[in-house]
Amino acid sequence: MCGIVGYLGSGSALDIVLEGLEQLEYRGYDSSGLTIKTSEGFKRVRAEGSLDHLKQKIEKLEGPLGIGHIRWATHGTASLENAHPHKVGKIQLVHNGIIENSEELKTRFKYNYQSQTDTEVIASVISDFYSRTGDFFQSVFETTKLLEGAFAFLAVCEDEAHSIVGARKGPPLVVGFGKEKEFFISSDLPSLVQKWTSRVAFLEDGELVHIQDGRCQFFSSDGSLIKKKIQTIQKEDQAKGKEDYAHYMLKEIFEQPHSSLRVLKAYTEKGQINFSSPLFQSAEKIFIVACGSSYYAGLYGKFVLESIVGIPVEVDLASEFQYKSLILKPKDIVLFISQSGETADTLSSFHQVKKRGVTCYALCNVRNSSLDREVDASFYLNAGLEVGVASTKAFTSTLVLLLLMALNKQKDHSLVSQLFDLPFLIDQVLSKSEQIKEQAVLFSKYKRFLYLGRGPHYPIALEGALKMKELAYIHAEGYPSGEMKHGPLALVDQEVLVIGLAMKDFYYSKNIMNLQEAKARGGFILTIGDQNHKSVADQHIEIPSCHPFLSPILEVVVLQLIAYHFACSLGHDVDHPRNLAKSVTVE
- Burial of 394 from C-beta contacts in 10 A (0-12 / 13-18 / 19+): buried
Query: Catalytic: which of 87, 251, 467, 582?
Result: 582
H helix runs in 255-291, sequence order = 256-266
Identify whether 360 is a catalytic site residue.
no
How far apart CA 289 and CA 293 sit, in angstroms, is: 12
Query: Catalytic: which of 2, 216, 360, 546?
Result: 2
Query: Beta-carbon neighbour count of residue 481 at 10 Å?
Result: 27
Query: Beta-carbon neighbour count of residue 441 at 10 Å?
Result: 13
For residues 169 and 151, is the Cβ–Cβ distance under 8 A?
yes
For residues 282 and 308, is the Cβ–Cβ distance under 8 A?
no
Query: Beta-carbon neighbour count of residue 197 at 10 Å?
Result: 19
Buried b (16+ CB within 10 A) or exposed e, 134-159: eebbebbbbbbebbeebbbbbbbbee
Asked if omega into 423 is within 30° of 0 (cis), the reply is no
- Burial of 586 from C-beta contacts in 10 A (0-12 / 13-18 / 19+): buried
Distances (CA, A) of 548 to 415, 515, 541: 10, 20, 17
How far apart CA 396 and CA 178 sit, in angstroms, is: 36
How far apart CA 82 and CA 28 sit, in angstroms, is: 14
For residues 583 and 27, is the Cβ–Cβ distance under 8 A?
yes
N-to-C CA span, the chain: 10
For residues 127 and 88, is the Cβ–Cβ distance under 8 A?
yes
For residues 300 and 402, is the Cβ–Cβ distance under 8 A?
yes
Query: Beta-carbon neighbour count of residue 18 at 10 Å?
Result: 21
For residues 510 and 455, is the Cβ–Cβ distance under 8 A?
no
How far apart CA 19 and CA 40 sit, in angstroms, is: 23
Nearest-5° Cα angle at 121, 159 to 101:
140
In DSSP terms, 199 is beta-bridged to 232
Query: Beta-carbon neighbour count of residue 352 at 10 Å?
Result: 18
For residues 24 and 184, is the Cβ–Cβ distance under 8 A?
no
Identify whether 582 is a catalytic site residue.
yes
Catalytically active residues, by annotation: 2, 582
